[in-house]
Amino acid sequence: MLRSKIAGIGSYVPEKVVTNDDLSKVMDTNDEWIQERTGIKERRYGKKHEETTTTIGARAAEIAIERAGIQKEDVDFIIFATLSPDYYFPGCGVLLQRELGITKTEIGALDIRNQCSGFVYGLSVADQFVRSGMYKNVLLVGSEMHSMGLDFTTRGRNVTVIFGDGAGAVVVQPTEEENEGVLTTCLHSDGTYAEKLAFLNPGSHGGYHEKYTGEETDYGYSDAEYGEIFLNKHMVENAQIYPHMEGQFVFKLAVQKFPEVIKEALDKTGLGAEDIDMFIPHQANLRISQFVQKRLGLSDDQVWNNIQKYGNTTAASIPVALCEAVENGAVKKGDLVCLAAFGSGFTWGSALLRW
Ligand code: UT7
One-letter amino acid for residue 208 of the chain: Y
From 137, 201, 282, 285, active-site residue: 282
With respect to residue 190, please indicate whether it lies within any of the assigned structural domains.
no
With respect to residue 151, please indicate whether it lies within any of the assigned structural domains.
yes
pTM over 0.75, yes/no: yes
Separation between Cα atoms, residue 311 and residue 166, nearest integer Å: 9
- Residue 137: CATH number of its domain: 3.40.47.10
Instruction: Quote the domain boundaries for residue 89.
Output: 3-175
With respect to residue 143, please indicate whether it lies within any of the assigned structural domains.
yes
Whether 146 is catalytic: no
With respect to residue 324, please indicate whether it lies within any of the assigned structural domains.
no
With respect to residue 266, please indicate whether it lies within any of the assigned structural domains.
no
Total domains in the fold of the chain: 1
Whether 201 is catalytic: no
Q: SS3 of 342, please?
A: strand
Q: What is the rounded average pLDDT of the residues 107-120?
A: 98
With respect to residue 13, please indicate whether it lies within any of the assigned structural domains.
yes
pLDDT tens column, 307-317: 999 999 999 99
Q: Alpha-carbon torsion 141, 349, 265, 278, what sign?
A: positive
Which residues share a beta bridge with 175? 3
| pLDDT at site 222 | 82
The binding-site residues of ligand 1, defined as CB within 6 angstroms of any ligand atom, are 29, 33-34, 37-38, 116, 157-158, 161-162, 247-248, 250-251, 254, 284-285, 288, 312, 343
| Banded model confidence at residue 221, pLDDT cuts 50, 70, 90 | confident
With respect to residue 92, please indicate whether it lies within any of the assigned structural domains.
yes
CB 230 within 8 A of CB 202: yes
The answer to which of 218-232, 256-270, 340-354 has the lowest mean pLDDT is 218-232
CB 97 within 8 A of CB 107: yes
| pLDDT at site 260 | 98
With respect to residue 323, please indicate whether it lies within any of the assigned structural domains.
no
Burial class, 48, CB count within 10 angstroms (exposed 0-12 / middle 13-18 / buried 19+):
exposed
Q: Return the ligand 1 atom nearest residue 285 CA.
A: 11
- Distance of CA 23 from the midpoint of ligand 1 (Å): 15
